[in-house]
Amino acid sequence: MLKREGALAGALLAVLTTACQSGTAGPTSRTPSPASASASPTNIPPSTRVATATAAAPATPRQNPDGLSDAQTVGQLFMVYAYGSGAQGATPAQRAANLALFGVATPAEVIRRWHPGGVILIDTNNLDPQRPSLSSGNVSGAAQITALTTGLQKAALADTGLPLLIATDQEGGRVQRIKHGVTLLPPQRALARTSPAAVTCSYYGLGRQLRALGVNQDFAPDADVVTTSAGVIGDRSFGPDPVVDASAVRAAVTGLQDAGVLATLKHWPGHGSTNTDSHANLAVINQSAAAWRNQDRVPFAQSAPIAAGIMVGHLALPALDPTGRAATFSPALVTGLLRRELGYSGLIISDSLFMEPARVAGTPAQVAILALRAGIDLQLEPISLPESATALRAAMGTDPAVRALIQAAAERVLAAKAKLDKAPVPPPGC
């Protein structure tokens, strides 16, 4: 749990050090602003609402983490993108996109109204059929990125008193969203041909550059053990040998986190053996439980004790969840396999909810509840943040079990933010 006069101050300093020398707004009261107090829309059709238990909430429910309001607590469970090159600035087309998605016009207003736990920096969201080629303006230059992240952090501190997780996909090779202010890395497959020490130093250098831009979480490294040449992962993986992969994954995690950037393993429970692109269809891991444990599980198990985050893919593993549902919505694969069996205690993040297996799982409201019940802490890119947040707030008010799940997820989000207080420590030899 973050404390305003302790870890919070250190965390914010860590996030913004070298990113901006103009000062930052200090944390303020968590009393919701007039905008946030009226943030939840009331015109969601009944057919999109999720039925919850009718048991009355306890007379004195447990306090939300860090004294957050219910709306702020729910908000922490989402990581969104917003259109605009600055926290306060956006083109007319970007403002229209924000209004359509969030009901407000600028990134800073998204923070104030919906209190998200994090923001992901992207260029375009080609999974959004309404605006597949509209540039967000998020990543057009180093100075622009730094100003945007600084402005977003100021908005978050003024709203909740908590810093944001600010993430991007920066693996190396063909998955590098930021092209300015960072050294572009080769694909993970090429890095695997070097030593673990060299991998650590490569990601340490990347982490220092991301941190200077105000980015404090990287959705990397890719921990998939790739065994098919036809799949979507390819050279994003360190290779087909789970032991070699495990060593390289841990080296990359060490480098990023020694630089003060939270690493995120992906894609649990393993995307390397399927030919299906999970952006477009549910990918099925057709392995026995024993084969999966000897292959896909190995890199995740090796780095689970140290990795700040693990991203869950839209992947089915029938050998361990016979329902065939995507891991994103599978209590067996998330709470059972990842949390309990693997013993992972860090932050569990969904893959983008704009991807087709999530889009067909239900309405945005239903998807939010399903992901929460599966064990997802941080829901990435909800199709409709207003519908998703409203569904969780409504369930939080009527179902004590859902309230407990939301509070526990928010506590893990805040615990991840507390790790931002760690100062960079160069690994040996870097």
| pLDDT digit string, tens, across residues 399-413 | 999 999 999 999 999
For the segment 82-101, the average pLDDT, to the nearest whole number, is 97
Burial of 342 per CB tally in 10 Å (0-12, 13-18, 19+)? middle
Question: Is the C-alpha dihedral spanning 82, 210, 187, 247 positive or negative?
Answer: negative
Place of tokens 């799982």: 361
The residue ranges of DSSP E strands in 216-346, in sequence order, are 217-218, 262-268, 283-284, 309-312, 315-316
Question: In whole angstroms, how far apart are CA 59 and each of 56, 63, 69, 186, 398?
Answer: 8, 12, 16, 56, 12
Burial tier of 132 (Cβ tally within 10 Å: 0-12, 13-18, 19+): exposed
- pLDDT confidence of residue 422: 86
DSSP H helix total and E strand total for the chain: 15, 12
Q: What is the pLDDT of residues 164-174, one digit of tens each?
A: 999 999 999 99
* pLDDT per residue as tens digits for the range 192-203: 999 999 999 999
| Cut 0.95: pTM above it | no
Active-site residue list: 279, 351
Task: In whole angstroms, give the CA distance from residue 317 to residue 296.
Answer: 11
Closest by CA position to 234, among listed 277, 203, 292: 277
**Peptide bond just before 242 cis, omega within 30 deg:** no
Q: Is the pLDDT of residue 5 over 80?
A: no
* Position with higher pLDDT, 207 vs 11: 207
pLDDT attached to residue 363: 98
Q: Which structure tokens are listed for 83?
A: 């259109």
Which residue type, as a one-letter code, is found at position 186?
Answer: P
Q: Rounded to a whole number, what is the distance in angstroms from the first to the last CA of the chain?
A: 32
| Sheet with strand 379-380: strands edge to edge | 347-350, 309-312, 262-268, 217-218, 165-168, 118-120, 78-80, 379-380
Residue 339 has pLDDT above 90, yes or no: yes
> For residue 188, is pLDDT > 60?
yes
Determine the pLDDT at residue 54.
37
Peptide bond into 267 cis (omega under 30): yes
pLDDT band at 230 (very low <50, low <70, confident <90, very high): confident
What is the Cβ-side half-sphere exposure of residue 52, based on CA atoms within 13 angstroms?
A: 25
